Amino acid sequence: MPVRDADMYCDGCILSTSDGFDEIWTLSGRPLRTAGNRGASGIDGVLSTSYWFCSWQSATGDLSFLHDTNGLSLLSKRVGRPPVVVIVVNNSGGGIFSLLPIANSSPDATFTNYFTTPHDVTLEQLSLAHKINHRLVLSKKDLSEALQFVHQQQADWIIEVRSSVEENAEYHRYLQISSRKAVRRALI
């Protein structure tokens, strides 16, 4: 979902470049070089394939991250490459399915077991198992401080952003209602 949110809600316009990257021109007028990435056939390999693009930082969901846990073992093998910062938005499952119509038409337990597929993997322990630094953040302010900190470190970092499937679905509903209202106001 992080890449879809950037695509849909970032506060600027997106221009494609010839080398496969996108430039997001933010309202402040600063271009951000970005790339959206998928694995071999979906969420598989997202982490490993992101290293190719990543000269600064990447963002991914927790299930996509966990699906490619072996990708963590590749990090230390990247001799002579710049350090990688991976932001994992951890809502303990696949939050994207809560935005689909199926979320309203299947029993809660069925939806949770077969779509959200929650997990209780501790990302901190997983990172430490691969000797990768880990930092948990709980707010936007924490995230901003954490990014400033890790980019001074010259080391690989996993930044885990704690999130929730329900709060995320609620916030998307709010964004959609607000967008509809703004469009209606603009058209009248």
Ligand X SMILES: Cc1ncc(C[n+]2csc(CCOP(=O)(O)OP(=O)(O)O)c2C)c(N)n1
Site residues for ligand X per CB under 6 A? 1, 41-44, 61-64, 89, 91, 94-96
**CA–CA separation, 60 and 4 (whole Å):** 11
Rounded to an integer, what distance in angstroms lies between the CA atom of residue 71 and that of residue 61?
A: 14
What track of x and - describes contact with Mg ion for positions 77 through 106 (by CB under 5 A)? --------------x---x-----------
Q: Is 160 in the site for Mg ion (CB under 5 A)?
A: no
Nearer to ligand X, 134 or 168 (CB): 168
The verdict on 116 binding Mg ion (CB under 5 A) reads no
43: partner contacted, choices ligand X, Mg ion, none (Cβ within 5-8 A by kind): ligand X
SS (H, E, C) 6-33: HHHHCCEEEEECCCCCEEEEECCCCEEE
> Which partner in Mg ion, ligand X, none is near 126 (CB below 5 to 8 A by kind)?
none
Specify the DSSP element, H or E, that contains 77. Answer: none
Q: In what order do the strands lie in the sheet with 57-61?
A: 57-61, 85-90, 157-162, 133-137
Residues that bind Mg ion (CB under 5 A): 61-62, 91, 95
